[in-house]
Amino acid sequence: AQSVAQPEDQVNVAEGNPLTVKCTYSVSGNPYLFWYVQYPNRGLQFLLKYITGDNLVKGSYGFEAEFNKSQTSFHLKKPSALVSDSALYFCAVRGTTSGTYKYIFGTGTRLKVLA
Amino acid sequence: DVKVTQSSRYLVKRTGEKVFLECVQDMDHENMFWYRQDPGLGLRLIYFSYDVKMKEKGDIPEGYSVSREKKERFSLILESASTNQTSMYLCASLGIYEQYFGPGTRLTVT
């Protein structure tokens, strides 16, 4: 069965420090992986995706993520955190062997960037 | 830019009422989705639709139904609202790979 795990409910980081939000997945076939961000009382905004190719993908607002097939991970990173990055982050996966477009989301990680 | 709109941002309904949540997208996308979001549970798929009049159950369809009469519009129906359906409801449409989400409807059932 497809699944996504975000092991940390919350991540705290000081402004200016690098940040990492973790995601691991389980899917049969080649995974399509995504990160979304949600600001308070808003819908989800797409940040970045991995479909194929280079394992390091770059996205919006200076975020990047590294696809690691052997560890089945897709961690979100940013070299220097901003207070405005504080939000709820979701990892999602779509398995390419599925006949329908169902996406599985993690439970979310709340990122707090402290000034 | 893709735009996904939802009919209400906040809604308060009474137990037993029939509730309609509407979602409209402007990008001619074939696939549309309804999720509910609850703290600690992430997003859970209620229903999705891959074409007009076509629908498929998600992981938690009980107590819900959907309607897709036009390509741009996907409606979620709570036939008889209950307090355990108090939640944030998110609609999404699917581009080539990524989903585009509406702003959400926070539904409270009292």
Whether B41 and A107 lie within 8 Å, measured CB to CB: yes
What is the rounded CA–CA span in Å between residue B94 and residue A101? Answer: 9
Number of structural domains (chain A) is: 1
Domain segments of chain B: what residues?
4-97
Q: The CATH number of the domain where A9 resides is what?
A: 2.60.40.10
Partner residue facing A44 (CB), from B41, B48, B90:
B90
CA nearest B57 in A: which residue?
A: A102
Q: What is the pLDDT of residue B1?
A: 72
Q: Answer positive or negative: Cα dihedral of B93, B99, B100, B105.
A: positive
Residue A27 scores a pLDDT above 90: no
CA distance B79 to chain A (A): 24
Containing structural domain, residue A69: 3-114
Interface test with B, best of A4, A46, A52 (most B CBs within 10 A): A46
Asked whether the beta carbons of A92 and A105 are under 8 A apart, the reply is yes
What is the rounded CA–CA span in Å between residue B99 and residue B29? Answer: 10
The tokens for B17 are 């009422």
Residue A89 scores a pLDDT above 70: yes
Q: What is the pLDDT of residue A40?
A: 86
Compute mean pLDDT per 10 residues along chain B, 110 residues long, and list them: 89 97 95 94 93 92 97 97 97 93 96
What is the rounded CA–CA span in Å between residue A7 and residue B107? Answer: 28
β B105-109/B10-13 pair status: parallel
Burial level of A101, CB count in 10 A (0-12/13-18/19+)?
middle
| pLDDT band at A98; cut points 50, 70, 90 | low
Whether B50 and A106 lie within 8 Å, measured CB to CB: no
Q: What is the CATH superfamily name and number for domain B4-97? A: Immunoglobulins (2.60.40.10)
DSSP B16: T
Whether B99 and A107 lie within 8 Å, measured CB to CB: no
